[in-house]
Amino acid sequence: MLQVMEKEMFKGINKNPFFNHIGFEIVSGHEDELSLKLEVKKELLNTNNSLHGGVHASMLDMVQTIHLRKIYHTSVSAVNLDVHYFAPTNTGDLFARAKVLQQGYKLATIESEILDENHQLIAKGTGVYKILRQSE
């Protein structure tokens, strides 16, 4: 189960209108791990009947942002996000997880991936985030 402090942080994220509109759900938030879940709905599909690329990018950014906020206990802001699309999908559940590559005082580099229910790699992203310290 999530720690009390993490529950408070996640409660704030669950109030995020965009987070709720897309349908993201935090499914785990352990010490070094964070996973998001997204049920693919027809409203999220593009004209090719596959999940819109912007949803992939949003999911990668969201899991990276939440993971870094959990580590730094402060807000972060994306400086760069690179997204690589590997396979289309239009049904089922997707899962995203993030891993920190470089953790600095002012910047952090993090990667994340989206897998489907069968563990097929759907998309992968790398982000650089500015750490928004209260004193700066």
Domain count, the chain: 1
Query: Residue 110 CA to chain centroid, in angstroms?
Result: 11
> What is the share, in percent, of the chain residues with pLDDT greater than 70?
86
Query: In whole angstroms, what is the distance from residue 30 CA to residue 78 CA?
Result: 23
Residue 75 has pLDDT above 80, yes or no: yes
For 25, the domain range is 4-131
Lookup result for tokens 């906020």: 69
99 occurs within a structural domain: yes
Q: For position 33, which CATH number holds?
A: 3.10.129.10
pLDDT at residue 18 in the model: 86
Query: Could you read off the pLDDT of 82-122 as tens digits, one per residue?
Result: 999 999 999 999 999 999 999 999 999 999 999 999 999 99
Which amino acid does the sequence have at 63?
Answer: V
48 or 133: which carries more pLDDT confidence? 48
In a domain, 136, yes or no: no
- What CA–CA distance (Å, rounded) separates 3 from 69? 15
**In this model, does residue 125 exceed pLDDT 50?**
yes
Residue 9 pLDDT class (50, 70, 90 cuts): low
